[in-house]
Structure 1
Amino acid sequence: MMKKLVPILAVLLVISSCGKNEQQAPPQGPAPFPVQTVTTQDATVYQEYTARIEGQQNVEIRSKVNGFIEKIYVDEGQVVKKGQILFKLETQTLNQDGSAAKAMVQAAQVEVDRLKPLVERQIISSVQLETAKARLAQAKSAYGSIAANIGYGTIYSPVNGVVGSLPYKAGSLVNPASEMPLTTVSDTKNIRAYFTMNEKQLLFFSKTFNGATTAEKLKVVPEVSLLLVDNSEYDQKGKITAINGLMNATTGTTEFRAEFTNPQGILRSGSSGVIRLPIVSKDIIVVPQNAVFEVQGKQIVYVVDKENKVKSRIIETNGTSDLNFIVTSGLSNGEVVVIEGTSKLKDDMVIAPQSKTATPEKVEVIAKDSVQPKTTTANK
């Protein structure tokens, strides 16, 4: 039995000895860490504003007369042309009134025709003829008013556009004072996006774009983009065309209007989106978000010196995104920062830098500044 145990013990001693040698192996030198050289660059900062979308014309269709809806010729969402019939109201009572008024016109005309020769022969005074003519004019006016109301019973589209909701059905009684319109026709060939800026944002806007008047400023404002609800960018660029001249005392904001063409009918009146206003920023520093960590609310990066030692440094940023920060202070052009693995570092630690270049294609940034509440940045 002892003879069998001796070889086994020998093997265990060899394995144990190897394990101790491996644990006591000396370190192989400084650990590698990815680094990036800080450079200044020009960038386009996109300020973002939530917008409501409306057609160029949103026309409420209302009845001008009292009546029951006899027929509805369109459906919700249907594209209609200017002058196309939309509704027909029952006008039987008006037709009866029209017949009576027409009879009054005929009677008044007969009276005028009867008095004319009598006046010419000076059998009666001309005053009687003038009185009869006045009654004829009054009868024609009454008939014309009723005839117009009969015409109002047929309702046509005043513009090209898309039919909105139809709250009333055939047989419903409507009148000019009805709370809801019969429908709304939206001209969506051109779309208007309305958004607001607060006082600080408006001041920043006014300082950024030169011009003594609003019209002059709008001439130099670049085209804007529209982000749709699925976060895709609308394929047509827009232009800011109007700024409200007054601040809303209740909300403390001013309304802007941007216009977009809508050739494919993608945009619908009543929907929402996000306006992106590009503003060029000169000589800014951008670092990857992975390079920055926080301690007690302070943003810190590790800077690598010429001897490959790292030192922590507090920086200040203007915004954040999924990938990058815009640095406003704390870093200078040409310095080197560690961009990954900062949790493993401590001051004066020596590393083996592995250089990585910044990707120049696109940098997305959401600004923290109250003047720029939400922006994205793209490198030039």
Structure 2
Amino acid sequence: MNKKFLIYGAGIFAVAAILTTSCKKGQDQQQGDQAPELATLEVVEESTTLETAYPATLHGKNDVEIRPQISGFLTKVHVREGQQVNAGQVLFTIDQVSLQAAVDAAEASVKVAQANVNVARTQANNDKILLDKNIISPSAYQTSADQLNAAQAQLAQAQAQVVSARKNLSYSVVTAPTSGVVGTIDYKEGALVSPSTLLTIISNNGDMEAYFSMNEKEVLALTNNGQRTLNEALAALPPVSLMLANGEMYAQKGKIISLSGVLNQATGSAEVKASFPNTNGMLRSGSTGQVLIPTMAPSSIIIPQKATFEVQDMKFCYVLGDSSKVHSTPVTVTNTGDGKSYIVTSGLKPGDVIVTEGVGITVKDGMVIKPKKQ
């Protein structure tokens, strides 16, 4: 009797085990059938180029401040803001009435002084004849000779005043000292200006210069810890790129042309200057952007930024495991500079498969997916 019960009980347990296994397989099959199909990527090592971004300010190769050399009222503004001008082109005219009057007065003074010289010369010549005939004393002749010298000095002074008056008159016409683009004009016709007044700035923007800073550590790396000179380091640098303020890349490459040999004690950085061609005039003096300096990174693991998600300032990836289950894995990354991908410095190894679709949105830790290779 006991044997029958034991056999019967064992049979029940066997049937239950089979049913449980079958049920689990059915559930797994059902879960697999319902699993979302998501894009995945197999991690590999590859060489890549990193770009380090430096905030920069753009200036024309030669930005010239335009200030008047005399005081007066503006009577004419000949250019408009943003206009391209050539060297010598008239920019502003300052009231010339009083200046022309000063020229006329100075020229009249020259005529008076010239007449006085003529009179004094005639008197001195006559006195010389009388002196030779012993009619007058030497002191009398010396007096007339001194009067001639004084008249000639007054003539020279009057002539110098003419030169000065004409020069001031020429200053009333303000011209461009260089070719370039006209900047902001804050003073309009009728405004009183003086030599301290900044009328505008002419920016020679045929080539634009981008100014940015490197910290001491970056400067040391650039010079290989002092193993090469700054000139050697600059010559070895590849062409650099410029990212505009709107995030777009400037079409033409530039080159770093100088690096300050002295660090700013307040900031601990050195000023760097890069030059970019500006043949189409797209770049403007005073605008901002980012200079991107490329460096080669061999044997790097590159993953898309969209394959990561962030929790409490830590980044994670979903790595595909057994039975197509994904599990979150912490990773350490650095930016590549392209805004689209990361370099993984820890957390992944070649051969790992990561999810690149739906990360941070639909994918959850432990979820079963249908891998879809990219």
Q: 2 CA distance for matches of 1:22 and 1:305?
A: 23
With over 3 angstroms needed to count, the CA separation of the structure-2 counterparts of 1:81 and 1:291, relative to structure 1, is: closer
Match of 2:237 among 221, 231, 235: 221
Structure-1 residue corresponding to 2:171: 152
Alignment of 1:232 onto 2:248: yes
With over 3 angstroms needed to count, the CA separation of the structure-2 counterparts of 1:224 and 1:144, relative to structure 1, is: same
| 8 Å CA contact 1:160, 1:187 repeated in 2 | yes
What displacement does 1:106 show? 2.3
With over 3 angstroms needed to count, the CA separation of the structure-2 counterparts of 1:66 and 1:295, relative to structure 1, is: closer
What displacement does 1:174 show? 1.0
Structure-2 residue corresponding to 1:197: 214
Give unmatched runs, 5+ long, in structure 2.
1-21, 132-140
| 8 Å CA contact 1:30, 1:352 repeated in 2 | no
Alignment of 1:50 onto 2:50: no
Q: Look up the SS of the partner of 1:101 in the other structure.
A: helix
Q: Deviations over 1:314-365 (max 9, x none)?
A: 5432337865331223444x4323325885555xx9x8985736xxxxxxxx
Structure-1 residue corresponding to 2:334: 318
| 8 Å CA contact 2:42, 2:354 repeated in 1 | no
With over 3 angstroms needed to count, the CA separation of the structure-2 counterparts of 1:128 and 1:240, relative to structure 1, is: same
Q: Look up the SS of the partner of 2:246 in the other structure.
A: coil
Letter of the 1:162 partner, please give it. V
Alignment of 1:17-96 (within 5 A): 25-28=26-29, 36-96=41-101
What displacement does 1:44 show? 0.8
Q: 2 CA distance for matches of 1:162 and 1:240?
A: 24
Letter of the 2:280 partner, please give it. Q
Structure-2 residue corresponding to 1:255: 271
Q: 1 CA distance for matches of 2:339 and 2:205?
A: 35
| 8 Å CA contact 2:48, 2:296 repeated in 1 | yes
What displacement does 1:69 show? 1.0
Q: Look up the SS of the partner of 1:27 in the other structure.
A: helix
Structure-2 residue corresponding to 1:280: 296
Greater fraction of residues in helix: 2
Give unmatched runs, 5+ long, in structure 1.
1-20, 358-380
Alignment of 1:138 onto 2:139: no
Structure-2 residue corresponding to 1:182: 199
Aligned length, in residue pairs: 330
Q: 2 CA distance for matches of 1:298 and 1:60?
A: 50
Structure-2 residue corresponding to 1:17: none
Match of 1:337 among 350, 353, 363: 353
Q: 2 CA distance for matches of 1:172 and 1:309?
A: 77
Q: TM-score, normalised by structure 2?
A: 0.75
Letter of the 2:26 partner, please give it. A
What displacement does 1:152 show? 0.4
| 8 Å CA contact 2:320, 2:355 repeated in 1 | no
What displacement does 1:160 show? 1.2
| 8 Å CA contact 1:290, 1:339 repeated in 2 | no
Farther-moved stretch of structure 1 (116-125 vs 78-87): 116-125
With over 3 angstroms needed to count, the CA separation of the structure-2 counterparts of 1:113 and 1:220, relative to structure 1, is: farther
With over 3 angstroms needed to count, the CA separation of the structure-2 counterparts of 1:216 and 1:116, relative to structure 1, is: farther
Structure-2 residue corresponding to 1:112: 117
Letter of the 2:285 partner, please give it. S
Letter of the 1:222 partner, please give it. P
What displacement does 1:289 show? 4.2
Q: Look up the SS of the partner of 2:26 in the other structure.
A: coil
Q: 2 CA distance for matches of 1:257 and 1:118?
A: 71
What displacement does 1:26 show? 4.7
Letter of the 2:256 partner, please give it. I
Q: 1 CA distance for matches of 2:53 and 2:371?
A: 36
Letter of the 1:70 partner, please give it. T
What displacement does 1:185 show? 1.7
What displacement does 1:305 show? 7.9
Q: 2 CA distance for matches of 1:212 and 1:117?
A: 79
What displacement does 1:309 show? 8.9
What displacement does 1:67 show? 1.0
| 8 Å CA contact 1:72, 1:86 repeated in 2 | yes
With over 3 angstroms needed to count, the CA separation of the structure-2 counterparts of 1:134 and 1:250, relative to structure 1, is: same
Q: Look up the SS of the partner of 2:196 in the other structure.
A: coil
With over 3 angstroms needed to count, the CA separation of the structure-2 counterparts of 1:143 and 1:291, relative to structure 1, is: closer
With over 3 angstroms needed to count, the CA separation of the structure-2 counterparts of 1:337 and 1:67, relative to structure 1, is: same
Task: Give the percent of matched residue pairs that are identical in Structure 1 and Structure 2.
Answer: 36
Alignment of 1:169 onto 2:188: yes
With over 3 angstroms needed to count, the CA separation of the structure-2 counterparts of 1:28 and 1:269, relative to structure 1, is: same
With over 3 angstroms needed to count, the CA separation of the structure-2 counterparts of 1:183 and 1:30, relative to structure 1, is: same
- Rg comparison, structure with higher value: 2
Q: Deviations over 1:70-107 (max 9, x none)?
A: 11211222221111111111122222222222222223
| 8 Å CA contact 2:75, 2:190 repeated in 1 | yes
Q: 1 CA distance for matches of 2:234 and 2:320?
A: 46
